[in-house]
Amino acid sequence: MTVPSISRRTLMKGTALLLASTALARQALAQDVPKGGRLVVAADSEPKNLNPAIVASNGVFFIASKVIEPLAEASFDGKDGLAPRLATSWEGAPDGLSVTFKLRDGVTWHDGKPFTSVDVAFSALNIWKPLQNLGRLVFANLEAVDTPDDYTAIFRFSKPTPFQLIRNALPVVTSVVAKHVFDGSDIATNPGNNKLVGTGPFTFAEYKPGEYYRLARNENYWDKDQPKLDEIVFRVLPDRASAGAALEADEIQLAAFSAVPLADLDRISKVEGIKVISKGYEALTYQLVVEINHRRKELADLRVRQAIAQAIDKKFVVDTIFLGYAAAATGPVPKNAPEFYTSDVATYDFDPAAANDILDKAGYKQGADGNRFKLKLRPAPYFNETRQFGDYLRQALAVIGIDAEIVNADAAAHQKAVYTDHDFDLAVGPPVFRGDPAISTTILVQSGTPAGVPFSNQGGYVNPELDKIIKQASETVDTAARTDLYRKFQQLVVADLPLINVAEWGFITVARDTVLNVSNNPRWAVSNWGDTALQS
Amino acid sequence: MKRAIFLLRRRAISAIPVLLIVVIFTFFLLESASGDAVDAYLGSIGGGDAALRQSLRESYGLDQSMLARLWLYLSSLARFDLGWSVAFNRPVGELIAERLPNTLLLMGSATALSFGLGSALGILAGARPGSARDRLLSIGSLVVYAIPSFWLGLVLSIAFSVRLRWFPIAGIETIASGRTGLARALDISAHLVLPVGALALIYLALFLRVMRTGMVEAWKLDFVLFARAKGLSRSRIVLRHVARNALLPLVTMLGLQSAAMLGGSVVIESVFAIPGFGRLAQEAVNGRDAPLLMGIIVTSAVLVISVNFLVDLVYASLDPRIGASEGGA
């Protein structure tokens, strides 16, 4: 996969020019960057389990990815969009029943023991497959891992498993942990989940709850040129307004994951010595989705769903709610996944008059108060933008005579109401696209998911044709045929609107000018930062 | 001394039913909220499947009945065991012991400052009710009182940390500095100036106004008239007769405010990134961590009861009439 940089630029056009210029400057410096120094970074949460082999989530990766490495990391210019980490090469068998990884020689764990294929086999069979939230799906058919020598691991599958899926999943689901740390213990309660032992460029030095995580330079890192920094300190700053102030006061040098609120970016970008960067999140694209409860009879009617899609002004949403740091979505696969993306799908242009017309013709007459029917709308509480979009959607629906009542709740209550109790008509959700439609995208529309599974088909949508394509794609080993099936998947979803994709967005990094080599891969914030340096 | 012991014993006995009611009430309040720790956790890690959800629920004991869990909690509480935090995966007692000192330091300093400065300014205002000085102080205090504490915190940090760079912007001490002894104490003090200032300013206004009102009332009392008739100096009347009388309601309020300040410190701890008790409570709520939240509420209740006990003692020593009959028993 070659990542066409044009689509990235157009997607994040707000700061594209600024980026292009700083990227060139960084490239020139990359040859000879200074060594040493402490980088202080804003962190907004303290995950209770810091082991990325068990919990594959951005909050965990943000800290753990510097200590524990995956087999491969996402890359802007590498083959298939990947750069080697603990594996130097990977190859799938034509029958889809095995994948062979060649592992890096001369790697040692932070406690001095050598890294071998046994660690990979242990991580895969004892952690990724049975315990990890996303690995349970990707490695569902993993049967055995052969280790013919210390530097070869052969994954064997009981059913043909598409190599394309394994490859795309590598950065997210393959964090390798040491067998000697976890073997023979209860993995869930092992202290190694929080006192990380890895192979990465930084060692886990200290955690002071409520204050900071400190990572120290790994003197024995396999890449002799790295790391450039002596220390990374993740400073816990729960209040978003303080992250911006801390950057201005130079108490922290970097804030990732939009820790500085979008509304403050314009002001802070004018502060001397601070730059705003929208690059580096291409492989972590979040999607703004209107989730629909198909159990509700009006919403089971395609015409109503089409009318809702036409009532939403995507451009307004991108410009006003995301202040331009997002792109309008066309379907369930974002443009940042060019391997799968297709623009050849039905479109629903913003046209409230046409939407009203459809609803009139469909027999949903406006009452004396102008309303056709009432709906319960639950915006997810995870981001400011999902809540703001909830407010917008209420107004947009009012224009076409649908009276939506907003119900706000905290994370636990929202999860329970939408995913377990199905107590909603419309919900606003922020699912993440994780490199391959099979990882966390098809589950949004596939039928048969039991109640209580987060970010799944909570609307009870059933479409046998779509289910068939999803199943076929999950078994298709041929990359081109599999890609084609996912194009068809997008077309079907957009035609029948089980949910409405409104926008897709990445996060924003704000950093001092002194931080070098920022955002140089599509998962930068959750990558190892081995080449990140500080200009003294 | 005898009176103090008597009060302590009576307080300790009445505290047990109070705590029990607080625990049971909180438990059912948390139960009645939709969603639990597993819902919150799965949301925060971006998903999982049905089997993962079930096994998490079992490991947290959430698959047991509500009454079984309440009984389990109460019996461990009786053994002074606060339980296991789901969100932090650590013992609740340990978490509280780690965070409480920071909050006590913050609250203690802020209370001392707002009480001291507030009563002093209240004396100034109440010494000549209706004077220009009185009106200036009264209006000024009203303005400060009306400011939301998070906003005041942000304004202070932008002015004194970002612009002037006089004080550190956040945290309780310089991270990973390795300072000890006096150097560390000075470092912590520097970090506390802004949060304590922000928290104290809000409550200062309350103390000022109560003190002033008490003074205005006291001026009308007979013994003050008598003192004036005797020809005592004005400053002596203000301090010995008027202010001392006006101090009593202030002490009562000190007890009440200790609970309110615990709430106020949640906001300030968040703005200034101080790893304190209030922020722990916020994290417990976000994670639907029932054992941790219960532990926090029990500890807060004990704290408020203790502060009120101390207030009673101070009150008794200020006003000999209070507790006199019981003390004789």
Each residue's pLDDT tens digit, A316-343? 999 999 999 999 999 999 999 999 999 9
Asked whether the beta carbons of residue B50 and residue A450 sit closer than 8 angstroms, the reply is yes
Asked whether the beta carbons of residue A210 and residue B275 sit closer than 8 angstroms, the reply is yes
Cβ under 8 Å to B: A residues 96-135: 133-134
List the single residue in B34, B46, B53 with the smallest CB-CB distance to A413: B34
Would the pTM count as exceeding 0.90?
no
Chain A contact probe: residue of B96, B162, B184 with most A CBs at under 10 A: B162
Separation in Å, CA of B77 to nearest CA in chain A: 23
Interface A:B, Cβ pairs < 8 A:
166
Residues of chain A neighbouring B175 (CB-CB closer than 8 A): 40, 208, 211-212, 214, 233, 235
Least confident range from A136-140, A244-248, A378-382, B213-217: namely B213-217
CA distance B213 to B207: 10
List the single residue in B46, B53, B280 with the smallest CB-CB distance to A452: B53
A271 has a chain B CB within 8 A of its CB: no
Residue A494, strand partner residues: none
Residues of chain A neighbouring B279 (CB-CB closer than 8 A): 210, 238
List the single residue in A46, A136, A238 with the smallest CB-CB distance to B270: A238
A71 has a chain B CB within 8 A of its CB: no
Asked whether the beta carbons of residue A453 and residue B37 sit closer than 8 angstroms, the reply is no
How many Cβ atoms are within 10 Å of B267's Cβ, its own excluded? 22
Separation in Å, CA of B149 to nearest CA in chain A: 14
Long-range contacts formed by B65-69: CB under 8 A, 24+ apart:
B66/B31
What letter would DSSP give residue A108? B
A456 has a chain B CB within 8 A of its CB: yes
Asked whether the beta carbons of residue B49 and residue A55 sit closer than 8 angstroms, the reply is no
| Residue matched to tokens 């013994």 | B223
Asked whether the beta carbons of residue A413 and residue B47 sit closer than 8 angstroms, the reply is no
Separation in Å, CA of B154 to nearest CA in chain A: 8
C-alpha neighbours within 13 Å on the C-beta side of residue B86: 24
Separation in Å, CA of B52 to nearest CA in chain A: 7
B104 Cβ partners below 8 Å, 6+ apart?
none
The more confidently predicted of residues B126 and A186 is: A186
Asked whether the beta carbons of residue B46 and residue A57 sit closer than 8 angstroms, the reply is yes
Highest mean pLDDT among A344-358, A439-453, B192-206, B289-303: A344-358
Name the closest residue on chain A to residue B37, using Cα atoms.
A412
CA distance A526 to A529: 8
Residue A65 has pLDDT above 90, yes or no: yes
CA B212 to chain centre: 23
Helices (H) and strands (E) in chain A, counts: 17, 21
Least confident range from A59-63, A292-296, B95-99, B203-207: namely B203-207
Asked whether the beta carbons of residue A239 and residue B271 sit closer than 8 angstroms, the reply is yes
Nearest partner of A40 among B185, B154, B171, judged by Cα: B171
A186 has a chain B CB within 8 A of its CB: no
Asked whether the beta carbons of residue B286 and residue A410 sit closer than 8 angstroms, the reply is yes
Backbone angles phi, psi at A289, to 5 degrees: -125, 135
Asked whether the beta carbons of residue B47 and residue A415 sit closer than 8 angstroms, the reply is no
Please give the mean pLDDT across all residues of chain A. 90
Residue A12 has pLDDT above 50, yes or no: no
CA distance A456 to A403: 26
The maximal CA–CA distance of chain A, rounded, in angstroms, is: 77
Chain A contact probe: residue of B38, B39, B52 with most A CBs at under 10 A: B39
Complex-level ipTM beyond the 0.95 threshold: no
A245 has a chain B CB within 8 A of its CB: yes
Peptide bond into A227 cis (omega under 30): yes
Residues of chain A neighbouring B171 (CB-CB closer than 8 A): 211, 235
Asked whether the beta carbons of residue A249 and residue B175 sit closer than 8 angstroms, the reply is no
* Burial B209-236, CB ≥16 within 10 A → b, else e: bbbbbbbbbbbeeeebeebeeeeeeeee
How many Cβ atoms are within 10 Å of B195's Cβ, its own excluded? 28
Chain A contact probe: residue of B103, B157, B169 with most A CBs at under 10 A: B169
pLDDT tens digits for B192-223?
999 999 888 888 888 898 888 888 888 888 88
Asked whether the beta carbons of residue A133 and residue B52 sit closer than 8 angstroms, the reply is yes
Residues of chain B neighbouring A410 (CB-CB closer than 8 A): 35, 40, 285-286
pLDDT tens digits for A142-174?
999 999 999 999 999 999 999 999 999 999 999
Please give the pLDDT value at position A325: 93
Residues of chain A neighbouring B272 (CB-CB closer than 8 A): 242
Asked whether the beta carbons of residue A453 and residue B88 sit closer than 8 angstroms, the reply is no
Digits of tens for pLDDT over chain B (329 positions)?
677 777 778 777 888 888 888 888 888 888 888 888 888 888 888 777 788 888 888 888 888 888 888 888 888 888 888 888 888 888 999 999 999 999 989 988 998 999 999 989 988 888 888 888 889 988 888 888 888 888 888 888 888 888 888 988 888 888 777 788 888 999 998 999 999 998 888 888 888 988 888 888 888 888 888 888 888 888 888 887 788 778 888 888 888 887 777 777 888 888 888 888 888 888 888 888 888 988 998 888 888 888 888 888 887 777 766 654 444 33
Separation in Å, CA of A210 to nearest CA in chain B: 5
Q: Is the dihedral of CA A36, A38, A40, A41 positive or negative?
A: positive
Residue A4 has pLDDT above 80, yes or no: no
Please give the pLDDT value at position A21: 44
The more confidently predicted of residues A100 and B68 is: A100
CA distance A350 to A182: 55
CA distance B62 to B42: 14
Asked whether the beta carbons of residue A251 and residue B169 sit closer than 8 angstroms, the reply is yes
Asked whether the beta carbons of residue B172 and residue A211 sit closer than 8 angstroms, the reply is yes
